[in-house]
Amino acid sequence: MKLSLASIALLAASASAFTTSPAGRVSTRLAVAPGETKASEKVVQAFADKPEEDPEFDALVKSNFPGAINNRDLATRVVELLEEKGFDPSNTLLATSLCADELARVLEDEFVSIYGNNFNLGGLSGFPFAGNTGWGAMSAHVPDNGYCLTIHGPHVGITKEGQIGKVERSGIALVDNCCGSAIAASNYLKGITDGSANINPRIQQFTDFQQGAVQELILPFGKRLARADERMRELPYALYDSQEVMVTDIVNTGKASIKQGLAVLGGIQINTAPDQLDYFHPLRFDYYDADGNLVENMLPYLR
């Protein structure tokens, strides 16, 4: 089914539905008491059932992805930095833009264990497809006088043997593609770069909009991927750069609507076998104040 969106010449300003009105106020306040459980204590709980770091595999991951740290270290450092700013589990809304893949839930769940249920901005390959309206709704859900932590990025698998772009999955003998959407986009782009792509009449199909968008947004990186020593290692970084186009538009449009402060953590999620810790390569960790001004680059503290 293909919809003629262009045939509609009217669009009510959808953000108006999220403006708040005093008429809706009630006398009871449902907030958890601030500081009830510190976020840094929750990090320990969130990783209690996770495997310990495997030094040999850790070295393998870091030789392939210099700058990557395991998710336990990531959460520990992020939470410590945000505690200094005033973020705690009772006053912080987590928003994520991560891939649809169930493996992308691993990082999400770890942070959900700390800050509570996430608003989900993401879709295939981790692009923030919930868009401006999603951001508007999300910012209305930030606790009163509270904060927002967004985590975004593509993901990539690495097997125990160090193969990039594949990963062991629980219950499946096949060591399958990760990220599938990214690899599909990479194959599409390779076809264009090589001049071997076939005409497909299902371009712009409404029921496959997200993949079409991923494949559109990665187009400028054909040469970069073709030149890469290892295409599968370069792919998530190219996708991250593609994604920044959307992320920047959405954050810049909506950043001033966040109540107290906004932290934007972007990077590459690195999925590993079920018995290993996952990893993350942070590429952006920006802090915006209540007026939406970028006031601190916290990325150096994650290195």
Q: Which of residues 204-243 bind its own copies (CB under 8 A)?
A: 204-213, 215-217, 219
Report which of 231, 235, 241, 250 is spatially closest to residue 284, judged by C-alpha positions: 241
**Nearer Cβ to its own copies, position 246 or 265?**
246
**Nearer Cβ to its own copies, position 37 or 177?**
177
Binding of residue 184 to its own copies (CB under 8 A): yes
Interface pick for its own copies out of 39, 69, 75, 121 (rule CB under 8 A): 121
Minimum CB distance to its own copies, residue 270 (Å): 16
Region 161-180 residues binding its own copies, contact defined as CB under 8 A: 166, 168-177, 180
Minimum CB distance to its own copies, residue 140 (Å): 6
Pairing state of beta strands 92-97 and 261-271?
unpaired
Q: How many residues does the chain have?
A: 303
**Nearer Cβ to its own copies, position 103 or 302?**
103
Please tell me the distance from the alpha carbon of residue 296 to that of residue 303, in angstroms, as a whole number. 16
Residue 269's SS3 state is strand
From 19-27, 41-49, 65-73, 286-294, give the range in contact with its own copies by CB under 8 A: 19-27
Region 251-280 residues binding its own copies, contact defined as CB under 8 A: 253, 273-275
Interface pick for its own copies out of 66, 202, 227, 291 (rule CB under 8 A): 202
Please tell me the distance from the alpha carbon of residue 247 to that of residue 161, in angstroms, as a whole number. 33
Q: Which residue bears the tokens 């809706």? A: 24
Cα within 13 Å of Cα(163), Cβ side = 12
**Nearer Cβ to its own copies, position 205 or 293?**
205
The torsion angles phi and psi of 38, rounded to 5 degrees, stand at -70, 145
**Structure token digits, residue 50:** 């996770």
Check if the beta carbon of residue 207 is closer than 8 Å to that of residue 1.
yes
Number of amino acids touching its own copies (CB under 8 A): 109
Interface pick for its own copies out of 44, 197, 226, 295 (rule CB under 8 A): 197
**Nearer Cβ to its own copies, position 5 or 48?**
5
Rg of the Cα trace of the chain? Answer: 20
Which residues, at least 6 apart from 91, have a Cβ–Cβ distance to it below 8 Å?
A: 31, 34, 143, 145, 146, 147, 260
**Nearer Cβ to its own copies, position 25 or 223?**
25
**Nearer Cβ to its own copies, position 63 or 145?**
145
Interface pick for its own copies out of 64, 70, 71, 91 (rule CB under 8 A): 91
The dihedral sign for the CA sequence 258, 136, 82, 145: positive
DSSP tag of 186: H
State CA 73 to chain mean position distance. Answer: 17
Minimum CB distance to its own copies, residue 293 (Å): 21
Burial class (CB in 10 A: 0-12, 13-18, 19+), 118: buried
Interface pick for its own copies out of 55, 84, 199, 229 (rule CB under 8 A): 199
Region 127-156 residues binding its own copies, contact defined as CB under 8 A: 129-134, 136-138, 140-141, 143-144, 146
Q: Which residue bears the tokens 């859900």? A: 141
One character per residue 47-86, x = contact with its own copies (rule: CB under 8 A): ----------------------------------------
From 11-19, 45-53, 230-238, 289-297, give the range in contact with its own copies by CB under 8 A: 11-19
What is the number of other CB atoms lying within 10 angstroms of the CB of residue 293? 11
